[in-house]
Amino acid sequence: MSLKHTPLDSLHRELGARMVPFAGYDMPVQYSKGIIAEHRHTREHAGLFDVSHMGQFILEGPGITETLESLVPVDLQALGEHRQSYALLTNDEGGVRDDLIITRWGAHAFFLVVNASCKAQDRTWIESNLSAGQSLRELDGQGLLALQGPRARDVLSSLLPETAALTFLQGAHCELDGMPVYVTCSGYTGEDGYELSMAAEHTGIFARKLLSHEATEPVGLGARDSLRLESGLCLYGHELSPTITPIEAKLNWSISKSRRPDGERAGGYPGAERIARQLSEGTARVRIGMRVLGKRPVREGQEVLNGDGEVVGVITSGAYAATVDAPIAMAFVDSAYAALDTELGVYVRGKTLPVVVCKLPVVPQRYYRG
């Protein structure tokens, strides 16, 4: 099957990107300076990411708030206009179909950003739950850029001054030289920053303007992954899946207070009974962070061992963390081994590498909250 291309495909090649297949798209994994340099630049200045492969949808119609609340354990009735919420589409077993960002665009309209690999199944699932007068429209081919890092606010406000006042999980309709763009104060690196949604034909213009600022450099998927790992952020297909519940993933905070068993609108979403039970009783396994005691990284799928050599878990993500100059990982382990500073091992090609359970995030998140 042929790969799809984002609106920035020619710019990536012009900038010397190394392209790889990802979620059906030809995407930049890194540029000439390499993943570690891109990672550090984002933590210190501003990195520009092409995330146009993500799914963008407009969900609207009478009663749409109640319909969407029947699919996610989030209090959307309390979500103000142009405010965002992280959300999980759950299944009947309490597992996760996908994680997404929901933005209220109006009394009866939401803007959704979903994972690239889940676009088709999300659309089918949501549409199957719609009522008369409700619709889901995909912004197919629309560009989506992420500008992340401590200087992202300076960079973007030099083009769009009104974005300087945006706080974490807040959005606004803006315009630059007659080109409309929807800007949200969000991202998946743990840094302050923005995501910008615009028409495909305007994406390259926006990207070049952002890259013309001395603080901005292009960043690929490789550094995006190591940045989110340092920040303790789950990745669908790794720390989230149809067989992993939000409570096992330590995302208890993603279950709004009003949707919990003692809330005013308790339950009412797929898997609510199992999730409620886990909230009160705990889980047999849980997501943890870990530092590798050495320089050799651990990788997804490798087994986690206790002191007796017994398998007690599995690595879900692992990478070199450039900010702390050490390999780190996330894993699911039996809850008895999840306490901070627990010493464990990871089986790697006939050897057991020593690791220790650590606090997440490894690098503190720096979202701008005003």
pLDDT for the residue numbered 127: 98
- Identify whether the C-beta of residue 232 lies closer than 8 Å to the C-beta of residue 238: no
pLDDT reading at 34 higher than 90:
yes
Please give the CATH number for the structural domain made up of 284-363.
2.40.30.110
How many CB atoms neighbour CB 307 within 10 A? 11
CB neighbour burial string for 19-57, b if at least 16 within 10 angstroms, e if fewer: beebbebbbbbbbeeebebbbbbbbebbbbbbbbbbbbb
- Identify whether the C-beta of residue 82 lies closer than 8 Å to the C-beta of residue 103: yes
* Confidence label for 144 from pLDDT (cuts 50, 70 and 90): very high
Domains 9-52+141-230 and 284-363 share a fold: no
The residue with tokens 């059906």 is 24
How far are the Cα atoms of 13, 24, 243, 345 from residue 54, in angstroms, in the given order? 20, 11, 22, 35
Q: How far apart are CA 90 and CA 15, in angstroms?
A: 39
Task: Break the chain into its structural domains and give their ranges.
Answer: 9-52+141-230, 53-129+245-283, 284-363
- Average pLDDT score over residue span 281-298: 97
286 strand-pairing partners: 333
Please give the CATH number for the structural domain made up of 9-52+141-230.
3.30.1360.120
Helix (H) or strand (E) holding 125: helix 119-127
Extract the tokens encoding 340.
């901070």
CATH topology of domain 53-129+245-283: Alpha-Beta Plaits (3.30.70)
- Identify whether the C-beta of residue 81 lies closer than 8 Å to the C-beta of residue 51: no
Extract the tokens encoding 70.
């029947």
- Identify whether the C-beta of residue 285 lies closer than 8 Å to the C-beta of residue 293: no
CB neighbour burial string for 189-222, b if at least 16 within 10 angstroms, e if fewer: bbbbbbbbbbbeebbbebbebbbebebbbbbbbb
pLDDT reading at 1 higher than 90:
no
Per-residue pLDDT tens digits for 99-112 = 999 999 999 999 99
Per-residue pLDDT tens digits for 342-360 = 999 999 999 999 999 999 9
pLDDT reading at 12 higher than 90:
yes
- Identify whether the C-beta of residue 181 lies closer than 8 Å to the C-beta of residue 195: no
Task: Name the percent of the chain lying above pLDDT 90.
Answer: 99
Mean pLDDT of the chain: 98
